[in-house]
Amino acid sequence: MNIAYDIDIAVVGGGAAGLAAAVAAGRELSGRGTVALFDAQPRCGKKLLATGNGRCNLTNRSAKPSCYHTDDVQALSRVFSGVNVDDTLSFFETLGLICREEDEGRIYPSCGQASAVLDLLRLELARLHIPEVCGCRVEKIRRTEDGFLMSGSLGEIHAKSVIITCGGKAAPNLGGVDWGYDLLRSLGHSVTGLNPSLCPIPVQSPHLSSLKGIRSHARASIRDERGEIYADSGEVQFGDKALSGIVLFQLSSAAANVRSGQLRVELDMLPERDKEELIAMLNRRRVLLSHLTLENFLTGVFNKRVGMCILKEAGMTPLSRSVSELSDSDIRRISSVIKGWRFPVSGKAPWNSAQVTSGGVRLSEFDGLTMQSRRCKGLYAAGEVLNVDGICGGFNLQWAWSSGILAGRSCAHALVH
Ligand SMILES: Cc1cc2nc3c(=O)[nH]c(=O)nc-3n(C[C@H](O)[C@H](O)[C@H](O)COP(=O)(O)OP(=O)(O)OC[C@H]3O[C@@H](n4cnc5c(N)ncnc54)[C@H](O)[C@@H]3O)c2cc1C
């Protein structure tokens, strides 16, 4: 047999979780064993470089289990008790990274460069003599008497322990693949349904094409037949066939975790006024602007094209009619659209538009204290390949760091003790 690599710990996947796991394992081993990091891409950390629009929203001050979707909240809490936000910031400080907190607890490198995060992790790998074996896809893995045997595109790899950090399906343009699920399945693990998350939400509406590119402040909610599932306020961006913006990303995270049913997005276009105040305001405008046509009835309240679409959605066509013709029931219909403009969800977003994968290998099949598999001794996993996805704002990288550091540290600890 041609064994190209014979090591103590093989980390499979050189993204955020894998880089953190390899560094943590190398530090814990402290020369008492060997680690190697394998990645299918020509370079490690491709996705990491794209995070936070190239600035890397490294973590969030308020990261806690309730900011995530998973099948095992208890295990998730254990992971965050093992490595929390402060531990993560200390970890990065020991690499030389200084961070700065911005709005809503979002933490970024002070230098504003995601590349600095990657550089410092890679420099630490070099200091620890951990090779990055790039262009090497691990295709198969099996348990042997003394560890694991993997077939990689560069030859066979033998390792006493393995940490799977292959990431998920999101953003295939940045290296997102589903290979990690297959590797873990082959070792006895199960995988939930997979859905794109933190992405624009595809919706149906006859008005979208005329609104393309417009941004408006709104309270957006995602609903099914039973009512509101999740809501958030912020800037909504109208796209050709989808609604976008950070607030919609947060909604997509909730939507990805709803099993069935017809979903719709509802926009409250004037969240700062209640319905009574809004009706009073529209009634005042009906008098004040009685000399205008309906086309301009909402000009000055909303972007003009948004205002016209709201009126069309309320059935006020043709807009060439006079404002003075509006009846009390017309005013109520317009106010209903303003407070709850409905957009039926038309399907799943493309994986290329998603930042994370909702779903993955069940977390309950791993020990949250160590990230070791409960089904296969010596096997560990971390990061997006597992069934944990967080909201937008640094939460997903925090999961990658916490689970990666914990997996690397405990895997190495188990080998030397
Ligand atoms: C555009 C974009 C922006 C984002 N911005 C943020 C942000 O600012 N903050 C935040 O918290 N989150 C952000 N995220 C999410 C975050 O990047 C991911 O949650 C995180 O990178 C997941 O880390 P990971 O190590 O688990 O997986 P990945 O980073 O996807 O790494 C997995 C690696 O495994 C390799 N691999 C897979 N299978 C194999 C195999 N069989 N053999 C060898 N190698 C393999 C892949 O090539 C890849 O390099 C963003 C995502 C995107 C797409």
State whether the beta carbon of 179 lies less than 6 angstroms from ligand 1: yes
State whether the beta carbon of 138 lies less than 6 angstroms from ligand 1: yes
Cβ count within 10 A of residue 286: 19
Can you give the pLDDT at residue 257?
A: 79
What six digits make up the tokens of 273?
């006024």
State whether the beta carbon of 383 lies less than 6 angstroms from ligand 1: yes
> What is the distance between the alpha carbons of residues 237 and 415, in angstroms, rounded to a whole number?
51
Q: Whose CA is nearest to atom 44 of ligand 1?
A: 39
Residue 310, H or E segment: helix 304-313
* Distance, C-alpha 200 to centroid of its chain: 12
State whether the beta carbon of 14 lies less than 6 angstroms from ligand 1: yes
Can you give the pLDDT at residue 251?
A: 95
Can you give the pLDDT at residue 333?
A: 98
Tell me the best of 51, 388, 395 to mutate to test the pocket of ligand 1, counting ligand atoms within 8 Å of each CB and taking the most.
51
CA of 192 to the centre of ligand 1 (A): 19
Do 216 and 235 meet the contact criterion of CB atoms below 8 Å apart?
Answer: yes
Residue 256, H or E segment: helix 246-256
Strand partners, 227: 224
State whether the beta carbon of 166 lies less than 6 angstroms from ligand 1: yes
CA of 46 to the centre of ligand 1 (A): 8
> What is the distance between the alpha carbons of residues 60 and 75, in angstroms, rounded to a whole number?
20
Do 140 and 151 meet the contact criterion of CB atoms below 8 Å apart?
Answer: yes
State whether the beta carbon of 177 lies less than 6 angstroms from ligand 1: yes
Q: Whose CA is nearest to atom 23 of ligand 1?
A: 16
Per-residue pLDDT of the chain (417 residues; tens, 9 = 90+): 579 999 999 999 999 999 999 999 999 999 999 999 999 999 999 999 999 999 999 999 999 999 999 999 999 999 999 999 999 999 999 999 999 999 999 999 999 999 999 999 999 999 999 999 999 999 999 999 999 999 988 899 999 999 999 999 999 999 999 999 999 999 999 999 999 999 999 999 998 899 999 999 999 999 998 899 999 999 999 998 999 999 999 999 988 877 667 899 999 999 999 999 999 999 999 999 999 999 999 999 999 999 999 999 999 999 999 999 999 999 999 999 999 999 999 989 999 999 999 999 999 999 999 999 999 999 999 999 999 999 999 999 999 999 999 999 999 999 999
Cβ count within 10 A of residue 225: 8
Strands 35-39 and 201-202 turn out to be unpaired
CA of 398 to the centre of ligand 1 (A): 12
Can you give the pLDDT at residue 152?
A: 86
CA of 20 to the centre of ligand 1 (A): 12
Q: For the chain, what is the radius of gyration of the CA atoms?
A: 25
CA of 311 to the centre of ligand 1 (A): 43
CA of 264 to the centre of ligand 1 (A): 29
Q: Dihedral angle at the C-alpha atoms of 74, 76, 77, 78, nearest 10 degrees? A: 90
Please classify residue 327 by burial: count the beta carbons closer than 10 Å to its beta carbon, then call 0-12 exposed, 13-18 middle and 19+ buried.
Answer: exposed
Can you give the pLDDT at residue 1?
A: 59
Q: Which amino acid is at 345?
A: V
State whether the beta carbon of 167 lies less than 6 angstroms from ligand 1: yes
CA of 86 to the centre of ligand 1 (A): 22
Can you give the pLDDT at residue 100?
A: 97
State whether the beta carbon of 402 lies less than 6 angstroms from ligand 1: no
Long-range contacts at 231-235 (CB < 8 A, ≥ 24 apart): 233/271
Strand partners, 342: 266
CATH 3.50.50.60 residue ranges for the chain: 3-196+356-416
Can you give the pLDDT at residue 261?
A: 75
Can you give the pLDDT at residue 169?
A: 98
Residues 6+ apart with CB under 8 A from 348: 195, 196, 202
Write the CA distances from 180 to 68, 75, 193, 260, 364, integer angstroms.
21, 20, 14, 26, 17
Do 339 and 265 meet the contact criterion of CB atoms below 8 Å apart?
Answer: no
Q: Whose CA is nearest to atom 37 of ligand 1?
A: 166
Can you give the pLDDT at residue 98?
A: 97
CATH code linked to domain 3-196+356-416: 3.50.50.60
Cβ count within 10 A of residue 52: 20
> What is the distance between the alpha carbons of residues 394 and 265, in angstroms, rounded to a whole number?
24
Residues 6+ apart with CB under 8 A from 94: none
State whether the beta carbon of 389 lies less than 6 angstroms from ligand 1: no
State whether the beta carbon of 70 lies less than 6 angstroms from ligand 1: no
* Distance, C-alpha 118 to centroid of its chain: 19
CA of 174 to the centre of ligand 1 (A): 8
